[in-house]
Chains A and B, each alone.
Chain A
């Protein structure tokens, strides 16, 4: 076999050993990349994508693992990523967020979906690719943005509720958008796309109803004082829902997102802490596996287009953020901060591109989306940090008190006793 020439060669029954060896090396490498990213305070997402490109079928260091394994890995990674995204928000938060930011959210949608749709149409990729690329350019990365806000100590800032509500709005829009896109990509036509969106609305409404009316019902069904039992049930339920959705030609990602959503609340408190490290792992796996499916040879062809799209959609995000900030009564600086915060694109853009890549849409779409996300996942946080310096009149060292102080537990307990 000419591929994988740099790996120790394996024959026959050693194939499993070789698969393990390769995967082990890849995950260990991802660990090193992640450590580098954290050391320099940047998002690890672009690094994982690049690693995927390098180890892909057409990359310089191809893995021997089969295509089916890679596809399944990417699917599972995506499902688990969406599950933890759903767990992040409670249904109440989603409902209030959408109500408060409805108009700002629609402006965000129109401003940022239009450039992607326009580019796909100009390139003659057809209306379905236009819908896909519109989604890629529209949705900001909840993961990257939320982490950036926390890292910069901006959680208390006045613009943060606006930013977070817009993220919520976008994520919820995805719950309606992804089933439509899935139907269109499968060539089911606009009529079935309409049916899909009705099913999606019904599913969203049902999970909201359950989460708001019977917050204890699902939790009671799922709860177990045993961590591993709880985790197994939650993961199992998400994969089951995703599988059923896939069978019905609906979106597996959305099903997982809705499972997370209906589990949030009481149970999420426990599940969340358990799932947090897993989510980061799944995200790494997901971005890696998406990268594996892209031929890096196609990137130079689309690099120019991706840069252009990145510049245009950076401007449109700043514009829609400016508008949303104005509605919330923020100052000029606060309005700019909303726009800048929302520049990074990430997981949902890749989910969309991943869906498109598995069907008959122009193969350049996947490469374009990967390059686009690479650019904005790096440039977005960088722009925020530069704007941070520009928009802050008084210079201050960002001192963080994150390091846990070693409290003298003895005296603390003594105090508590005296209080009681």
Chain B
């Protein structure tokens, strides 16, 4: 998959890609340690429609959630 990388002087780096359905999503890794999750507008692929700023712990949680299987039968009990 092609991930585009853009340098943001003084802020950090932006990484984004286009999904098969044509939506663009990305993350901005900021120098202050936070991560910004960005979703581009459907009608304007240059414009961030929604952005969420994640602290490092929140980012870790999201990364973990993204890796979870759909049917977590192998897990003894759900994690909270």
Contacts and interface: CB of A to CB of B under 8 A. Distances in A.
A88 B38 CA distance: 23
Contacts of A167: 9-10
Interface string A327-345: 0001101100000000000
A334 B47 CA distance: 8
A366 to B, nearest CB: 29
A156 B9 contact: no
B57 A409 contact: yes
Interface in A372-420: 392-394, 396, 399-402, 404-405, 407, 409, 411-412, 415-416
Interface string B13-48: 010100000000010101110001010111111111
Contacts of B40: 156
A94 B9 contact: yes
A153 interface: yes
A58 interface: no
A165 interface: yes
Contact of A415 (B14, B31, B58, B64): B64
B7 interface: yes
Most buried by B among A146, A153, A416: A153
Contacts, number: 105
Contacts of A401: 51-54
A405 B34 CA distance: 13
A137 B44 CA distance: 32
A142 B79 CA distance: 45
A96 to B, nearest CB: 6
B3 interface: no
A227 interface: no
Given A407-B55, A415-B79, A331 B46 contact: yes
B50 interface: yes
A156 B10 contact: no
Contacts of A394: 41-43, 49
Contacts of B58: 405, 407
A301 B6 CA distance: 46
A161 B53 contact: no
Contacts of B10: 88-89, 93, 142, 146, 164, 167-168
B46 A155 contact: no
B80 interface: yes
A47 B48 CA distance: 31
A415 B79 CA distance: 9
Contact of B28 (A156, A396, A399): A156
Contact of A157 (B43, B47, B50, B79): B47
Contacts of B48: 153-157
B49 A164 contact: no
Interface residues of B, number: 38
A139 B4 CA distance: 30
A1 B1 CA distance: 76
Interface residues of A, number: 45
Contacts of A161: 6-8, 14
A412 B60 contact: yes
A167 B11 CA distance: 12
Contacts of A392: 41, 44, 47
Contacts of A46: none
B78 to A, nearest CB: 12
Interface string A202-227: 00000000000000000000000000
B9 to A, nearest CB: 4
A283 B58 CA distance: 33
Nearest to A164: B9
A150 B30 CA distance: 11
Interface in B66-80: 79-80
Contacts of B26: 156
Given A161-B6, A161-B8, 9 more contacts: A93-B7, A97-B9, A153-B51, A165-B9, A168-B9, A272-B31, A331-B46, A401-B54, A415-B60
10 contacts: A94-B9, A155-B11, A158-B47, A164-B8, A331-B46, A392-B41, A396-B49, A399-B50, A409-B57, A412-B60
Interface of B: 6-11, 14, 16, 26, 28, 30-32, 36, 38, 40-55, 57-58, 60-61, 64, 79-80
Interface of A: 88-89, 93-94, 96-97, 142, 146, 150, 153-161, 164-165, 167-168, 269, 272-273, 330-331, 333-334, 392-394, 396, 399-402, 404-405, 407, 409, 411-412, 415-416
